[in-house]
Structure 1
Amino acid sequence: MTSELKPKIVVLGAGVAGLTSALLLARTNLYDVSVIGKFLPGDLDIEYTSPWAGANWMSFVKDDEVLERYDRITYAEIARLAKEHPEAGIWPKKVIEYVRADDLIKNNPLLGGLLDARPWFADMTPNFKQLTPAEMPKGYVQGITYDSYCFNPLIYLPWLVSQLLSHGVSVRARTVSHISEAFAHHASGQPAHLVVNCTGLMACRLGGVMDDKVYPGRGQTVLVRNHAPAMYDITGCSDADDELTYIMSRPAGGTILGGCYQKDNWNATPDPNMAQRIIRRCLEICPELESEGKLDIIRHNVGLRPSREGGPRVEKEKREEGWVVHNYGAGGAGYQSSYGMATHVVELVGEALAS
């Protein structure tokens, strides 16, 4: 089918959700796809979540078959990419997770399957193992380890763009204030048949969407040049209920130290006191981070996770202008669920255009 005859689709949003959705749609060779976004890879802005993400696969899903499917599909695809496309910036890395006694008692819903001795992905991830007390630091009552992956967003997002360009997809900077405007921004100059809405956190402000269930989950991290031997995750911390402890080593060097999850907090300025607490907690679980007795700090980061009450919105909607397929609200799971959510988008686009 020539591009003139293919249904025209505009993907609104150029974060990991939008770029991945566009790529899977383009791979079908059934659609003429264009991507527009207020921000593009290379931009750094507090409204543009994807560059600030820790960006790994460390599932916290519990008792949700839809979200499990998203994570399962994504794990298989990034395992393939890590092997076949090392230039994509995806790195195989061992995960070590520890559970504190207090968190076992609280059963914090944010922690999901991390509190299960044998979570749903145990039979899927290579080298899954339950840790014995002798294998954990003092003060932890449960632990697991398995093989997973970490992304470097500053490499991976431009790689996604390169893949889109190789499929003939236009990627352009455009700002729209209402979802209906996106129909007029296909690269062909013709009206789009369908829009895929991947506006993330800004779905709460986009005209025609204005989703009041969407909120920022503020995260603060410290990027250092030091290297960690694994990715670490702790179920909570004693400093504050909304603070977390995690370590993510990245492809091409550098390690992310985190963090926090502060609901409805839009503040883009790093808190120096929190940064010190983050560093202290990370060194307690991974003293190997310090080389020659110090941390080599590159940058203090703040990102706003595009979270949503009730979970992500992946569904189709018939509007006067045409069909819209929504894909936003993944919160902290944007990368680890990206291919699964985009696969769902492709299914919904097929259903919408067939109708």
Structure 2
Amino acid sequence: MPAKNVVVIGAGVAGLTTALLLSKKPGYKILVAAKHMPGDYDIEYASPWAGANYMPVSISGTKAAEWDKSTWGPLADLAANHPEAGVHFQECEIHSRAKDNGSATANWFSELLSPNPWFAKVVPNFRSLPTKSLSPGIDSATSFTSVCINTAIYLPWLVSQCLANGVTFKRALFEHIVDATYHNFHPYGNVDIVVNCTGLMASKLGGVQDTTVVPARGQIVIVRNEARKMLSVSGTDNGDNEACYVMTRAAGGGTILGGSYEKGSWESQPDPNLAIRIMKRAVEMCPSLTNGRGIEHLDIIRHGVGLRPVREGGTRIEKERIGGVWVIHNYGAGGAGYQSSYGCAQAAIDLIEEVTGFQARL
């Protein structure tokens, strides 16, 4: 059977991971086409702004939980054996306050806050922390070994692995998804399959225009101060659309202080008042950042804003015929893009192979 020509639209973590896993299989000529590539910083391009880490919030028994579960192994392998990928192990503590019950953050984190979540059997060293060891106001906490990803290293690493496997890359801006199938666009001829990894832009891409995909704005502060462990808490006293988390990226990537979860907001510019609240919460939760001193002792690298591609009903991994061509969708992971990336990519590839098998029988 002749090789199938595949165009992957989107060069975020979903598109790059899908292209990489597919490139390890024979019979595919892969082109990654995207408006934004690693190294770019744009409000439409979510992946560079992410923390990123492995703190599953998917509910037990769902497809999302299976995708998260399938992703832990590859990320742990990178942390253990491939330092050039910019992934490292970091101890993680999840703090829970009873007064947050019913809040937006507590509901979002419900599985993460559970004393016995499904991922307790996946990640190493999962345990509940003794109440007497907790800070005032914290009612319970769990701890486990997680990973933190330096996205400035990891995204280019994914590109390098794709290139080594023969994947080609091209800048492109599509108004309609079938534009990716136009004559001579793919270097090896007519396009057989399009993989849609457009994230938030799936809401605007012609032929898709998924109105259930909306931004969930996240604001962060990146500092040079180092945190000894990854921390997050079930809520804040500043409102339901704000959150508190701290994580130190691998290989000198700085420490991420977050954050917010402002659903429906497209605002690209950092809010200085929110930044102050973020820093105050981080220093209170993690005093070691400044050795017990105030936010004026934080050494700021930059402020950032990213838009999580949140889809009602969760990540879309489906096949669909559009304009006579098979399209495989993989978008809408929200804040779980990295921690579900390998599971989602494999699910998309299963559909690609299903379609390829169908075409072979015609």
**Smaller-chain TM-score range?**
over 0.9
Name the counterpart of 1:33: 30
Shift of 1:112: 2.9
Name the counterpart of 1:143: 141
Name the counterpart of 2:216: 217
Name the counterpart of 2:261: 261
Q: How many residues align?
A: 352
Task: Judge conservation of contact 1:34–1:186 (CA < 8 Å) in 2.
Answer: no
Matches within 5 A, 1:262-301: 262-290=262-290, 293=293, 294-301=297-304
Task: Judge conservation of contact 2:14–2:345 (CA < 8 Å) in 1.
Answer: yes
Where in structure 1 are there 5+ consecutive unaligned residues?
none
Tell whether 2:357 aligns with 1:354. yes
Matches within 5 A, 1:107-126: 108-126=106-124
CA distance in structure 1 between the partners assigned to 2:62 and 2:231 by the alignment: 25
CA distance in structure 2 between the partners assigned to 1:55 and 1:217 by the alignment: 16
Task: Judge conservation of contact 2:60–2:117 (CA < 8 Å) in 1.
Answer: no
- Match of residue 307, structure 2, among 296, 304, 307: 304
Task: Judge conservation of contact 2:48–2:151 (CA < 8 Å) in 1.
Answer: yes
Name the counterpart of 2:76: 79
Name the counterpart of 1:88: 85
Name the counterpart of 2:13: 16
Q: Secondary structure at the match of 2:257?
A: strand
Shift of 1:141: 1.2
Task: Judge conservation of contact 2:68–2:340 (CA < 8 Å) in 1.
Answer: yes
Shift of 1:320: 2.8
Shift of 1:310: 0.9
CA distance in structure 1 between the partners assigned to 2:134 and 2:312 by the alignment: 34
Q: 1:167 to 1:117 in 2, by over 3 A?
A: same
Post-superposition Cα deviations, 1:129-185, rounded to whole Å, max 9, x if no partner, equal 111211211111111000010100100000000000000100121111100011236
Post-superposition Cα deviations, 1:78-119, rounded to whole Å, max 9, x if no partner, equal 111112211000010000000111223558431130231111
Name the counterpart of 1:55: 52
Residue 323 of structure 2 aligns with an amino acid whose one-letter code is E
CA distance in structure 1 between the partners assigned to 2:269 and 2:292 by the alignment: 30
Tell whether 2:320 aligns with 1:321. no
Q: 1:292 to 1:59 in 2, by over 3 A?
A: closer
Shift of 1:69: 1.0
The farther-off stretch of 316-325 and 145-154 is 316-325
Structure 1 stretches of 4+ moved >6 Å: none
Task: Judge conservation of contact 1:10–1:186 (CA < 8 Å) in 2.
Answer: no
CA distance in structure 1 between the partners assigned to 2:319 and 2:251 by the alignment: 38
Question: Superposition RMSD on alpha carbons, in Å?
Answer: 1.4
Post-superposition Cα deviations, 1:40-94, rounded to whole Å, max 9, x if no partner, equal 0001111111001111111111234211111111110011111221100001000
Task: Judge conservation of contact 2:103–2:235 (CA < 8 Å) in 1.
Answer: no
Residue 289 of structure 1 aligns with an amino acid whose one-letter code is L
Task: Judge conservation of contact 1:114–1:235 (CA < 8 Å) in 2.
Answer: no
Task: Judge conservation of contact 2:10–2:33 (CA < 8 Å) in 1.
Answer: yes
Name the counterpart of 1:206: 205
Name the counterpart of 1:98: 95
Shift of 1:205: 0.3
CA distance in structure 1 between the partners assigned to 2:185 and 2:141 by the alignment: 49
Post-superposition Cα deviations, 1:328-355, rounded to whole Å, max 9, x if no partner, equal 0000000000000001011000111211
Q: Normalized against structure 1, the TM-score is what? A: 0.96
CA distance in structure 1 between the partners assigned to 2:47 and 2:103 by the alignment: 30
Q: Secondary structure at the match of 1:150?
A: strand
Name the counterpart of 2:345: 342
CA distance in structure 2 between the partners assigned to 1:273 and 1:8 by the alignment: 49
Name the counterpart of 1:180: 178
CA distance in structure 2 between the partners assigned to 1:124 and 1:202 by the alignment: 32
CA distance in structure 1 between the partners assigned to 2:43 and 2:103 by the alignment: 32
Name the counterpart of 1:127: 125
Shift of 1:291: 5.5
Task: Judge conservation of contact 2:5–2:186 (CA < 8 Å) in 1.
Answer: no
Residue 20 of structure 2 aligns with an amino acid whose one-letter code is L
Residue 271 of structure 2 aligns with an amino acid whose one-letter code is D
